[in-house]
Amino acid sequence: MAVLAVMVGFCYLVAGFANRQLVERVGALLPTPYGRRQATYDLRRLKRKGLIEKIPHAHRYRLTSMGRRVAVLFTKTYSRVLAPGLCALDLGLPADVIERNELSTAWRCFDRVLDAFIQRQLIAA
């Protein structure tokens, strides 16, 4: 997700971006080190998938139109749907927060029913 988020920032660069720029920006987003080797691997995979293209006679890359669409879709989906949804499922949330959130309430109900079902099946076996 960090690589795709950085790619969105590179989409309007006329001269493209270099491996070094990718390392700097992705490294700033991640809690663990992100090195040149990992960036090279990621660039190779993105190029193979058609999300980026190498600029001829340069060590620079640019996002393809498909790459821009994919990067925007994934980053928006993550930030607007997945991250808030996973936060709502956090077991450490206080009870008053859980009661105000439909997803938290439904998930906990599902979790209780599933646990009860599993226990019944284990007893029946």
| CA atoms of 110 and 114, how far apart (whole Å) | 6
Nearest residue to 4 via CA among 76, 65, 89, 56: 76
- On the question of pLDDT at 89 being above 90, the answer is no
Q: Residue 103 carries which side chain, given as an amino acid letter?
A: L
| CA atoms of 64 and 38, how far apart (whole Å) | 21
Q: Where are the domains of the chain?
A: 2-84, 90-124
Please provide the CATH number assigned to the domain covering 2-84. 1.10.10.10
Burial of 32: CB neighbours in 10 Å, binned 0-12, 13-18, 19+:
exposed
| CA atoms of 4 and 66, how far apart (whole Å) | 12
Q: How confident is the model at residue 84 (pLDDT cuts 50, 70, 90)?
A: confident
Specify the DSSP class assigned to residue 93: S
Q: Residue 17 carries which side chain, given as an amino acid letter?
A: F
| pLDDT at residue 33, as a whole number | 92
pTM, entire model: 0.70
**More reliable by pLDDT, 87 or 39:** 39
Judged by average pLDDT, the poorest of 16-30, 81-95, 110-124 is: 81-95
